[in-house]
Amino acid sequence: MENIIDNRNIYNLNNNINTLNNDKLILHDENSSLLIIVIDLQQLIQFDSDNDITTIMKNIIIFINAHIAYSSSNKVCCIINDDKHGVQYLYPNEDEDDDEDQENQSILNEDMYQGFKKVDESILRKLEKIVAEHKKEASEAKNTSNSKKKRSSLAGVISCGLTYIHRILKASISIRARMLVITGETLNSNIIQSHQYIPIMNCIFTAMKLKCPIDVLKINDINLNSDSTKSNSFLQQATDATSGIYLEINTTNGMIQYLTTIFYLNTLITSTTIDNKLKINNSVDKLEIEITNNGDDNADEGEEVLVTSHNDILLKPTTSQVDFRTSCFLTGKTVAIGFVCNVCLVVLSYIPTSLKDCPCCGSKFDIKTLKKLKYWQLQQSSTNKRGFIKKIAKTNNPNGKNGTAAGSSASKPIEL
């Protein structure tokens, strides 16, 4: 905060939004950012040769270098998840004494900038090992043709990333963190996603608390029909809740373009406050950073050009609709009006006539209220005038058998 106020004195912008150049001056101060790149290798490694992991990694490496190049205090962390090792950090290195790979030095140009080289080498070396292992295994596995279903470990790797962010945020004050999840989808994927709802939700809440936006880049395999692709609704919700960007691409050709235009710029803008006079709506926690005008006379003029969010400067790719709906426990249909068990919070779209206890947790329901709801359901199906049902019910039976919830509880103490 102090830093911002200092900048204010130095770069007194004449309330001019268009001078984005001036912002860069501020950015070069201690506004460093931490970029966590989560690569869902579990999915990406199954890609075919056109789109395979090496082309993807080439692009990611450039992106990482660009991030490091922007400011000397920027930090990078790259984590992957794969079938064999589970979660693995590609950078920072967990075991520095990797002397056995000395001969591998040649993968990178000797003259490369040391800052890039350190990061890139570590990532590439480890990745090479993993890919080699995987290829070996895949060739062996082809003979046995196993189609075993596997659990996706994406939630685990995101959790790891969040703990890392927590660690870094604790260590330094001015740093901001963000996470880029790169995942994919192949044609015959044998990876189950459905169990991930609760863990990913938990990750979202944590990211909100840490004020860390989550961006998602999903790469669809070429073989995949455009109709059959399903957007990953969990990750979509994650980006929506943390005000990140969700993007799906169908080819890795020119992937660097996407990365630099969409995700790279987002880093700059979300990770900086442009000017203290501009009110940045950091919608991660709906916290509006308002800096009181230190007796500045121009304050009134300054407030005229409030930027409510970074959307006003750059248009983010918006996802048309985020799927927030829940699905019914029994039928799997999406629910608009549902019934929720007050013990386990399971959602039902309708009440089966034979229902007596919760299908999920088994707790026995109160018969009276169940009757009431069933009655409501009956009426609902018979009438189409949705909004008036309640009123009709009320006038028909003023004694409260099917009245409002409030009425029934008020009468309850007297029964006792």
CB of 373 to other proteins, least distance (A): 6
How many Cα neighbours within 13 Å face the side chain of 119? 22
Q: What is the DSSP letter of 28?
A: T
User: Residue 98, exposed/middle/buried by CB under 10 A (0-12, 13-18, 19+)?
Assistant: middle
CB of 150 to other proteins, least distance (A): 5
CB of 110 to other proteins, least distance (A): 29
R_g (Cα) of the chain, nearest Å: 27
CB of 104 to other proteins, least distance (A): 22
Return the number of the residue (28 or 412) whose C-beta is nearest other proteins: 412
CB of 210 to other proteins, least distance (A): 8
Angle at 60 between CA 315 and CA 44, to 5 degrees: 100
Return the number of the residue (222 or 328) whose C-beta is nearest other proteins: 328
Amino acid letter at 56? I
User: Hey, which residues does 88 pair with through a beta bridge?
Assistant: 80
Residues 271 and 292: their CA atoms lie apart, in Å, by 21
CB of 215 to other proteins, least distance (A): 19
Return the number of the residue (10 or 406) whose C-beta is nearest other proteins: 406
Return the number of the residue (265 or 346) whose C-beta is nearest other proteins: 346
CB of 203 closer than 8 Å to CB of 238: yes
Q: How many residues does the chain have?
A: 416
Return the number of the residue (250 or 283) whose C-beta is nearest other proteins: 283
Q: What separation, in Å, do the N-terminal and C-terminal C-alpha atoms of the chain show?
A: 59
CB of 370 closer than 8 Å to CB of 385: no
Return the number of the residue (81 or 220) whose C-beta is nearest other proteins: 81
